Each structure stands twice: as C-alpha cells, then as structure tokens.
Amino acid sequence: MRRWNGWGEETTAMELPAAGREFLAEAIGPGMALADASLEAVLAKVPASRLAEHPLVIREAHDRLMHARGQSLADWLAMREGEFGLFPDGVAYPQSAEQIRELMRYAEAQDCLLIPYGGGTSVAGHINPPASDKPVLTVSLAHMNRLLELDEESLVATFGPGANGPQVESQLRARGYTLGHFPQSWELSTLGGWVASRSSGQQSLRYGRIEQLFAGGTLETFAGSLEIPTFPASSAGPDLRELVLGSEGRFGVISSVKVRISRLAEQESFYVVFLPSWERGLAAMRSLAQARVQLSMLRLSNAVETRTQLTLAGHPGQIAWLERYLNWRGAGEDKCMLTFGVTGSRAQNAASLKAARRMLKDFGGVFTGTLLGRKWEASRFRSPYLRETLWQAGYVVDTLETATDWSNVDNLLNRIESNLRGGLAAEGERVHVFTHLSHVYGEGSSIYTTYVFRPASSYAKTHERWRRLKESTSRVIVENRGTISHQHGVGKDHAPYLPTEKGELGMATLRTLAAHFDPAGRLNPGTLLQD
Amino acid sequence: MRRWNGWGEETTAMELPAAGREFLAEAIGPGMALADASLEAVLAKVPASRLAEHPLVIREAHDRLMHARGQSLADWLAMREGEFGLFPDGVAYPQSAEQIRELMRYAEAQDCLLIPYGGGTSVAGHINPPASDKPVLTVSLAHMNRLLELDEESLVATFGPGANGPQVESQLRARGYTLGHFPQSWELSTLGGWVASRSSGQQSLRYGRIEQLFAGGTLETFAGSLEIPTFPASSAGPDLRELVLGSEGRFGVISSVKVRISRLAEQESFYVVFLPSWERGLAAMRSLAQARVQLSMLRLSNAVETRTQLTLAGHPGQIAWLERYLNWRGAGEDKCMLTFGVTGSRAQNAASLKAARRMLKDFGGVFTGTLLGRKWEASRFRSPYLRETLWQAGYVVDTLETATDWSNVDNLLNRIESNLRGGLAAEGERVHVFTHLSHVYGEGSSIYTTYVFRPASSYAKTHERWRRLKESTSRVIVENRGTISHQHGVGKDHAPYLPTEKGELGMATLRTLAAHFDPAGRLNPGTLLQD
C-alpha cells in the first residue's frame, strides 16, 4: 500500500548501514527523532466537505487526506506531524475526457476551485489546496492510465494522462517499445504530470526531456478543448504544445497525451569512471556533451557526494579495496564518480563506449567497468525512499536543483553549496551538502544538490530551519543566472522566484494566458503564478 | 548587386543545359516567355509617402521598392510584371535596440503599421505591406548584423537579429565555430527571420531546427521589452522562447538573438546512394531516422525528382554511364537518389558511415561514394536561382512543403503530387511535379514538392494558374494531417489554412497573445493571423 505520510510503497525500505550512521554523526552530529502522528489522528481532523453531492465526487476523509499533500519537505513535515492544514473538499477520479468536462461544469456550478492531480509527487507544492473561501475539488487522473492508440510506423503512442511510469513502460514494453522517460519519481509520477511540469528523465541524453517526447494531445480548459495534432515538426506559428508544457494545471486539465516512443534498444549498459578532481570531472562532462558522444546518461558526483555514496552503500570492506585501487591509479581524496550509460545497437554502443573511454582517459579518468553501473541501475528509483530511512535515523534530507550555462556551473554550484552549508550556523547546526550534475547539454548542465540536517526540538522549528535554507538558496539560484527549476517545476514553493527569470512582461504574458483559458481563476490558484 | 525583381545576386546565374530544355518541353510543352518590366518603370509608380519625416526613416522610392515584396511566386510575378501594388511608406535601418524602440514610439505617434524585415526571403508573404488607411513603416534589421558576445565555454553566441547566413557563419568560423543552420535561403535570410518563422536548415539532423538553436534574446514589443535569459533547459513554466519562435513579427521586433553554436567539426562528407524504388527509399529513410544513426543530413528524391535532377545536371555522357552502372546494380527506371552527410570527429563519422551503408544495403541501396555528394554540397544554395533560369526559358517554378507522421508520408505526398499534376488539366496544361524528403525525425518527415508549369498569355492569367495550384494543394495538405508549413512559416499566403491545425481555441490563443503584446494591432497585420 502507498504510504499516507511519505514516499512510495510501505513495503519498500532502504537500510542505513552502520558506517553511514557514523559518517553522518561525524558530519553533522547524532540524529534527533521527532514523533510521527497516526493516520487515525489525522483522519479525525478532516473537516466536513463544502461541496455538494455529485456521482463523480468522493467526499470521504481518506481520499481527501491522500490528495492533500505532495512530497516537498514542507509536505513531509506536515504529514509526519499530522498537521495537514488544508484538505480538498472532494476528490474525483474521471474515466474520460467527457467526465473531466462534466467536472469542470460542476466546478462552475459550485463556484469551486479545481486542482488537476497526477501522481502527487510534486516537491514544489503543485497540488496543495490553497486557503480559500471557495471549496476545492481535486481531480485525480489515476483512472485514465491506458495506452489508447499506437502508431508503430510513426512511433507515436496515445495514453490517458494518469498513466504512471510503470503503467507507461509495461504497456509499451509488451509491444517492444519504450518511452525512455525515467525521472526519479517514475514509480508514482504520471505522464500528464510530466507534461504539466516539464519533467526530465535520467536518460534525457538519449530520449530527450518530456518537451521532446510530448507530440500532442488534448487540454480541457474553461474556454474549450485545445486539441493539438501531431507533426514531426512545424513552422506554422507558435507551437501550442509549449503552452501545455509547464502549465502546471493553470490553463486546463490534460485529458490525453501523445508521445514519441522508441523501439527497445538492442543493448544497454552503465559504467562508472572516477575522475581525480572536480575540475577534471567538470571538464570531462562538458567535453562529452559538446562532442555529441552518443551516451544515454551521464552523471558526475562531486567529491563529497562520491564519499557519501560510497559510505552509504555499505560493504565497507569492498569499498576500502576500491579506494586503495583508485588511490593507486591517481583518483584519491578528491575523486569524483562519473556514471555513464550507452543505449542502442551493439555497434553504436561499442563506438560510443570507445569514444567516451578515450575522452575520459584524457581527463585522468579511472574506468571501473559495469559493476558500480549496475548498482546505479538497480537503485535508480530508490533515492526518494532515503528520506524515510534518514528520518528514522533522526535526520532530515531535501534536494534543490537548477540548471545554468557551462561558464556558470562551477560558480553557481559553489554558491548554492556554501549557502546551504552555513545556513544553520546561527543555531550552531551543521548541514551536510553534496551535489551532482545529471542532465547535460551543449550549453550547460543541471545542478542537483542534496542537503541533510538535523530536526530541531519541534516540527515548527524544524520547518523553520528548512524554510530558511530553501528560501535563501532559491534566491542565490535566481540571482546567479540559474533557473528556479530544471526538472521539478514551479508549484507554489518556487513561484516567488519566477519573476526574476521571466521578467515583468513575461509574467504578464503568463497571467494573460491563464485569464484566457480560465477567466474565473478556478484552476490551481497559487501554483506557477502567485496571483 | 542584389536583384530587384528576383532571387539573389545579379552576377550569379545557373545554366539550363540543352537536355534539360528538351526534357521540360517533352514533359509539359515548349517554354512561353512573358516580358519583364524595367526598374525605372516601377520606380515611377511608387506613390508619395504618407509618413512624416524622421531621421531614421527613409522615404526614397528605391528603398521602398526593395522592401515591398518577398520571394513567393506571387511576389515574383508581380515584380516581373512591374505591378508591385503596395509599397511601404518608409524604410528604417535601426542600429540598436534603442533605435528600434524609438521607431516604435514614432509608429505610435504616426499611427502607422510596422513590418519587421530580415532578409526579405519569405515565400509566404510575410513582409508585404497590407492594404491599409494607415501608413506602413518597414523596419529592416540589416544593419544589426554583428556578433556581440561569445561564451566559448557554453557555446552561446549573441548576434544582432539582421545577421544573414554568411555574416553569421563568417564571424563564427573566424573563431572556430559554426551555427550549422543552412536553409536554402541562407545567402540572404537572417537569424531574426529564422527565429520569427521557425526555419530549418539542411543539416537539421545534426544541429537541430532553429527552435533548438535559439537560446534566448530580446523582443521589443508595444507592451515593453521581453528579455529571455539563456538556460540549457528549464522546467520553470511555459518557455517564453516558444512565443518568439514563429511570431512572424506579430508580437514584436527581435532586437538580439542568442544561439547555441558548435565547434567546427573535424570532418564532413556527403554521399549518394541510389535506392531501387520509392518504397525502399522511404523505408530506408525511416529506419535511419528511427535508429538514431548520427547523420548530419538525409535527403531522398522520388523517381521523378531523381530523373529531373540527373537531366538538369548536364553532362549527359557521364549520366548515361552512371545510369548503366545503376541499372546493372538493380537501381533502374524507378531509382531514387538518397543523399546523406556525416559531420563530426573522424571516428564518429567512420562509425556513422558504416552503420548507414549497412542499413542502406539492406534496402537494396547502391552506394556511389562522394562525387555526387560533393556536387550537392557545391550547389546547396543554388536552387533558388533556378527560378530565374527557368523563367528565361519560359517556365514557372514553385515549391510547396509540409511535414507529417511517417504513417502518412506516402499518402500525403501522393495526394499533393496528383493534385498539382492535374491542377491545370482544365486548360489542357500539364504540370511537372517532383518531391523530396529532406528533414527527417523519429516521428515523420518533411515533404518538399517542386512544380513547374508554363506561364499563360498574361501575368494575370499566370497568377491565376498559380493561385489555383497553391490554394487547392494547401487545402489538400491541411485536410490530410499535414502542417501548412514545415519550414517556410505562415505569412499571409498560409494564414487561411492555419485554423485547421491550430483549432478554434488555438487561434483565439494566438489572437490573445497578439493583443497582449500589440494592443493597437500595428505589427505586421494579416501575417500569421488573418484578423
């Protein structure tokens, strides 16, 4: 069963090895536990619904609780404390575009707000009900998860918007295809959610971001249905797909999604190389991306992340052996782990592997083969479970991400890390901070930073610690040529920082579009645009 | 000097070999010439300007004549007849964003219309002044053509919007870089024009369309300046670049363009392979595109285009020898010429060439090496000059293009060709029609059709022949899942067909955006949107 107060399946758990616990204790001090609330206690707090009866609208406390919060750290703390605050007044699970339109008519009749809901995996407050005099209806697309059409010649598949990662891939794989979109949230997040929030998957280097995969579909708006036909490319004016991508439920509800798929590749492997320093690793990443070496994924951990990952992996004996070997080969204390993948025909992969190895060798890279690559592959969707593991051990973990041009990657990364590292110094608390680059482009890279700190003596004070770290670092990002998000979207948490990158006229343009599609302002208010 | 009544440089001319003349005479009858007007006669028809004096605004007849028409066939006939019809009332050549804004203030004060002008190479009526009570000011960006900034780490270059193909490439090549954007109009068309019309270059398979190259920049609008910063990728809401791309001068004037550039490749070669039939050629194109073989260009001519090109190439002795060889190897009467390019490091190119040759062999392809590929390369920007050559020989030539998903390419191509081929049957005239696919994607392909017919006894009747062919075929395109343009844009000529693909709500959205950026409706009215 899905956890009501955290990430993923209840039956899935990650171990924190003893060495990991010691490592964190040394880095930031021993863990401090806060008590979790019970489900019963929270259910008792769900207030009466303000919505009128409708055959499609469920007003049960449990459904409303399960759709009240996403997976941001603020959501996590609220869920663990049992202080959800706001709940939707009802949840609907439409099964067709017509039922979505029916629910939109109901929303007009009830004068209520409407929140489109995919997998509920937002880490930026996309689906949280706002405080409002109006009732709130959450529309979950979970029941619209089927593969509806497959054009095997054009490699275009049509899905219901609520298909989550496993549902997308299992329906395609049965026929020999893949979408190739694997965000870390893949187990729970949905196709419609990926489109609405412009998500990016771990193998974007081969398959592209969701922007490249989204070929067309339908958006149900309060001004009518926007049907976007598929073309391989077009110069016929502005591309309407781009208004659906990143619309975050403000312009409409996505009722069908057409995506560009691929035949399953003949072969796929992942390899790990250690670079002797961050400078060399960064230069290698840029070279590989700009030389268009045909890789399917590329990820570079900085020295602290490398050390943290090797420690948390357990198996201290094996790791010690690996480190002696790496040390002997010149990748010592400052070593950075680089993981790369090749996906394609055997011939393509052999050529790409050769090119990558040659280039990495020039930067002092020590190749270790596929063993660690297979480990990465096996645990590629496990990181979100780590929050639960660390919480049990008395730590809080969150991540922050952005993207910037290559000439600014190192500068921005250092500013983010140092802002987080010293962010709780006033309270005498340390923050453990590490970073990787995992989406690279000719122009630049994403920057993905993880930070671990200790809870304070209460939930309120812990939330306050997080808020201080998150807000000040978000400012650091947008004031230093970073985008407020490379892959998580804007939601409510990032909305205050959006104007810095979109500008005054850009923000006015987005508001004009929202008013065009949703004149009464019912759709997901507070998300993307603060007003 | 640039031709005032046709394409390109006056000093550049293409030969029509005797065999080509005979070929056309047999296909559609002997050529029929119409008399050209003189420049003096047209200059005498330029009316008095309706615009008030301004230091930046030139009201001379010659400048106004040179900016009155693009390069559509309708423009061509009007220019040859000397019946331009409408002229702008003035032309300005701003040298800075501030001067553009100054001209926009002047346009408000004068209550005039404003047409942004790049290279004047539109084949869809983008820059033609509309009939209006208001005076018309054409703003040529020709003097804003410099490389302004170069970030060599991020491979981002900032240009003035008026830099044409040779200006872009020469400034980049001097430093070891290339943009890699080579539309057929490259000699004259401009970076700002490419962005405004969503253009695509011959090597889009490697470098991407202009959508992938355009990284940011500035749009001057009547609602203020829209500054778009560069990010390698972002999930921060809808991407504002996409509103500039394809805006066709309706939302604002582009005052600076940031583009993603590449280091000059180590090596580049083009090869020609003949496929025994259209079916095999089409299947080979789709396979190469979907298998992600790293090619930089890929073009397949159908059998009639292949025959036409081999005949028009001259050298009948060499061609006869080639045809005997191909026939012997199994590529006979129905053979289709496929040209492909590899661009990259020597190792990449060797691997790609090997993969492409192996795949093409499976489809019965006969490899002929680089000789014909070099010929393609040498004449890659020459096709537009062919209109002049054929006109002198008494023929009219035009092209039509679209893109559609692979499952529909053959169907749509056949409908386009048969509609054109029989389009003048009522007058007892034949039309010579041939097609190539030159931009391929996993999902589908562009379709580029050339048609040659004879002028009628007058310009008016010749225009009427063209109008009938163009309008009926445009309908065929949009009614059969094709986009009204893959690479030429909408302009005024394609505007009536846009609603079929954008839908009612899509069109309303574009009108809302136009009104947002340009409340008084001064910018390029009639282009993109009919109202």
pLDDT per residue as tens digits for the range A44-97: 999 999 999 999 999 999 999 999 999 999 999 999 999 999 999 999 999 999
List pLDDT tens digits, range B384-414.
Answer: 899 999 999 999 999 999 999 999 999 999 9
Average pLDDT over residues B231-258: 98
Residue B3 scores a pLDDT above 90: yes
| B336 lies in some domain | yes
Residue A237 CA to its chain's centroid (Å): 31
pLDDT for residue B29 is more than 90: yes
Q: Of B71, B105, B140, which residue sits at a domain end?
A: B140
Among candidate residues B349, B380, B411, the one where a domain is terminated: B380
The per-residue pLDDT for B70 is 98
Query: Which residue from A minimizes the CA distance to B258?
Result: A443
Q: Is A247 on the interface with B (CB under 8 A)?
A: yes
CB nearest to B245's CB, from A231, A238, A406: A238
- Can you tell me the mean pLDDT for A11-35? 92
- Ligand-binding site membership of B207 (annotated): no
Residues 279 through 308 of chain B touching chain A, CB cutoff 8 Å:
286, 290-294
Chain A residue numbers with beta carbons less than 8 Å from the beta carbon of B404 are 231-232
Structure confidence by residue, pLDDT tens digits, A216-235: 999 999 999 999 999 999 99
Same domain for B74 and B100? yes
Interchain CB distance below 8 Å, A347 and B351: yes
Mean pLDDT of A332-347: 96
Give contacts of B 176-215 with A, CB under 8 A.
197-200, 206, 209, 211, 215
CB neighbour list of residue B518: distance below 8 Å, 6 or more residues apart: B221, B222, B223, B250, B251, B252
| Residues composing chain B | 531
Residues A281 and A372 both lie in one domain: yes
Catalytic-residue membership of B448: yes
- CATH number, domain at A109? 3.30.43.10
Q: Do residue A209 and residue A239 come from a single domain?
A: yes
Closest in A209, A228, A237 to B510, CB measured: A237
The CATH number for A185's domain is 3.30.465.10
In chain B, the percentage of residues whose pLDDT exceeds 90 is 95
* Number of other CB atoms surrounding residue A5 within 10 Å: 20
Residues in a beta bridge with A268: A343
Least Cα separation, residue A249 to chain B (angstroms)? 11
pLDDT band at B11 (very low <50, low <70, confident <90, very high): confident
B267-275 vs B336-344, strand pairing mode: antiparallel
B306-358 pLDDT, tens digit per residue, is: 999 999 888 888 999 999 999 999 999 999 999 999 999 999 999 999 999 99
Task: Kindly give the pairing relationship between strand B90-92 and strand B136-140.
Answer: parallel
SS3 of A442, please?
coil
Residues 6+ apart with CB under 8 A from B115: B88, B127, B129, B136, B137, B138, B139, B249, B523, B524
Residue B431 CA from chain centroid, whole number: 22
Which CATH number belongs to the domain containing residue A285 in this structure?
A: 3.30.70.3450
Residue in chain B nearest A504 by alpha carbon: B226
Position of tokens 């193998």?
A203
Q: Do A232 and B404 touch (CB under 8 A)?
A: yes
Report whether A367 contacts A276 (CB < 8 A).
no
Which residue in B185, B230, B235 has the most chain A C-beta atoms within 10 A of its own C-beta, making it the best mutation to test that interface?
Answer: B235
Mark whether B301 and B329 lie in a shared domain: yes
Residues A255, A275, single domain; the answer is no
Q: Are residues A231 and A280 in the same domain?
A: no
B232 has a pLDDT exceeding 90: yes
What is the pLDDT at residue B335? Answer: 97
Q: Give phi and psi for B221, each to the nearest 5.
A: -120, 170
In-domain check, residue B15: no
pLDDT score, position A87: 98
Report the pLDDT value the prediction gives residue A93, as an integer from 0 to 100.
98
- Same-domain check for residues B70 and B90: yes
For A257, the domain range is 152-263
**Residue A104, in any domain of the structure:** yes
Please tell me whether residues A71 and A162 are part of one structural domain: no
Yes or no: say if A521 and A250 are a contact pair by the CB < 8 Å rule. no
Give the closest of A154, A225, A351 to B405, CB-based: A154
pLDDT of residue A15: 85
Q: Which of residues 446 through 505 in chain A touch B, CB cutoff 8 A?
A: 446, 481-490, 494, 498, 501-505
**How do beta strands A136-140 and A113-117 pair?**
parallel
Q: Are B53 and B99 in contact (CB under 8 A)?
A: no
pLDDT at B272 over 90: yes
Any domain includes A78: yes
The predicted-structure confidence for A139-157, as pLDDT tens digits, reads as follows 999 999 999 999 999 999 9
At B419, give phi and psi (nearest 5°): -65, -40
Q: Which of A292, A355, A483 sits opposite B231 (nearest CB)?
A: A483
Chains A, B: CB pairs < 8 Å: 286
Residue A278: inside a domain: yes
Contact list, A295 vs chain B (CB under 8 Å): none
**What average pLDDT does range B98-120 have in this prediction?**
98
Cβ contact (<8 Å) for B231 and A405?
yes
pLDDT band of residue A173 (cuts 50, 70, 90) is very high
The pLDDT score that the predictor gives to residue A383 is 87
Token code pair at residue B67: 């900016």
Asked whether residue A116 is marked as a ligand-binding residue, the answer is yes
State mean pLDDT over A490-494.
98
Q: Residues A254, A274: one domain?
A: no
Asked whether residue A203 is domain-assigned, the answer is: yes
A226·B509 Cβ contact <8 A: yes
Give this complex's ipTM: 0.97
**Predicted local confidence at residue B383, as pLDDT:** 87
What are the tens digits of pLDDT across the range B143-195? 999 999 999 999 999 999 999 999 999 999 999 999 999 999 999 999 999 99
Question: Where do we find the tokens 């009316």?
Answer: B47
Which residues 136-165 on chain B approach chain A with CB closer than 8 angstroms?
151, 153-156
Residues 6+ apart with CB under 8 A from A362: A284
Interface of B with A in 102-141 (CB under 8 A): none
User: Which of A102-111, A438-447, B209-218, B313-322 is least confident?
Assistant: B313-322
Note the pLDDT of residue A382: 87
Please report the pLDDT score of residue A394 as a whole number: 97
Q: What is the pLDDT of residue B98?
A: 98
What residues of chain B, 331 to 390, have a C-beta less than 8 Å from chain A?
344-345, 347-348, 351, 354-355
A252 annotated to a ligand binding site: yes
Average pLDDT, chain B: 97
Average pLDDT for A445-460: 98
Q: For tokens 């306050």, what's the residue? A: A464
Question: A344 to chain B: nearest residue by CA?
Answer: B291
- The pLDDT confidence band at residue A366, using thresholds 50, 70 and 90, is very high
Q: Which of B441, B508, B510 sits opposite A238 (nearest CB)?
A: B510
Query: Is A442 contained in some domain?
Result: no
Strands B396-405 and B432-437, bridge-based pairing: unpaired
A161 belongs to an annotated ligand binding site: no
Q: For residue B154, which residues of chain A lie inside 8 Å, CB to CB?
A: 405-408, 443-444
Question: Considering only CB atoms, which chain A residues are within 8 Å of B233?
Answer: 200, 209, 403, 439, 441, 446, 483, 486
The single residue of A93, A207, A385, A448 carrying the catalytic annotation is A448
Q: Is A111 exposed, middle or buried (0-12, 13-18, 19+ CB in 10 A)?
A: exposed
For the segment B276-315, what is each residue's pLDDT rounded down to a tens digit? 999 999 999 999 999 999 999 999 999 999 999 999 888 8
Report percent pLDDT > 70 for chain B: 100
Q: How many domains does chain B have?
A: 3
Give the model's confidence band at B88: pLDDT under 50 very low, under 70 low, under 90 confident, else very high.
Answer: very high
Question: Closest-CA residue in chain A for B156?
Answer: A443
Q: What is the pLDDT of residues A379-422, one digit of tens each?
A: 899 888 999 999 999 999 999 999 999 999 999 999 999 999 99
Q: Which of A226, A246, A263 is the last residue of a domain?
A: A263
Chain B residue numbers touching A252 (CB-CB < 8 A): none
- Is B281 among the annotated ligand-binding positions? no
Evaluate whether A175 touches A192 at the Cβ level (below 8 Å).
Answer: no
Q: Is residue A518 part of a domain?
A: no
Query: Residue B378 has which token pair?
Result: 């040498």
Chain B residues lying within 8 Å of A248, measured CB to CB: 237
Indicate whether B234 and B277 sit together in one domain.
no
CB contact under 8 A, B235 and A485: yes
**Region of poorest pLDDT, from B161-175, B226-240, B379-393, B456-470:** B379-393
Q: B177, B207, B271, B448: which one is catalytic?
A: B448
Q: Is B69 assigned a ligand-binding role in the annotation?
A: no
Q: Which of B156, B228, B506 sits opposite A443 (nearest CB)?
A: B156
Look-up: residue for tokens 């409303």? A64
Beta carbons of A487 and B235 less than 8 Å apart: yes
Determine, for residues B237 and A246 on separate chains, whether the beta-carbon distance falls below 8 Å.
yes
Contact B489 A226 (CB under 8 A): no
**pLDDT tens track for B474-509:** 999 999 999 999 999 999 999 999 999 999 999 999
A405 vs B156: CB contact, 8 Å cut-off? Answer: yes
* Confidence (pTM): 0.97
CB pair distance less than 8 Å for A246 and B235: yes
Distance from CA of A261 to the nearest CA of B (A): 9
Q: What share of chain B is helix, strand, coil (3-state, %, to 5)?
A: 40, 20, 40
Q: Within this chain, do residues A239 and A271 fall inside the same structural domain, yes or no?
A: no
User: Which residues have C-beta within 8 Å of that of residue A429, sequence separation ≥ 6?
Assistant: A28, A29, A453, A454, A465
Question: B198 contacts in A (CB within 8 Å)?
Answer: 234-237, 239
Mean pLDDT of B23-43: 96
Distances (CA, A) of A234 to A55, A238, B335: 42, 9, 29
Question: φ, ψ for residue A113 (rounded to 5)?
Answer: -90, 160
Share of chain A above pLDDT 90, in %: 95
- Burial class (CB within 10 angstroms; exposed 0-12, middle 13-18, buried 19+) of A3: middle
Q: Is A366 found in the same domain as A278? A: yes
Average pLDDT value for chain A: 97
Total Cβ atoms within 10 A of residue A13:
12
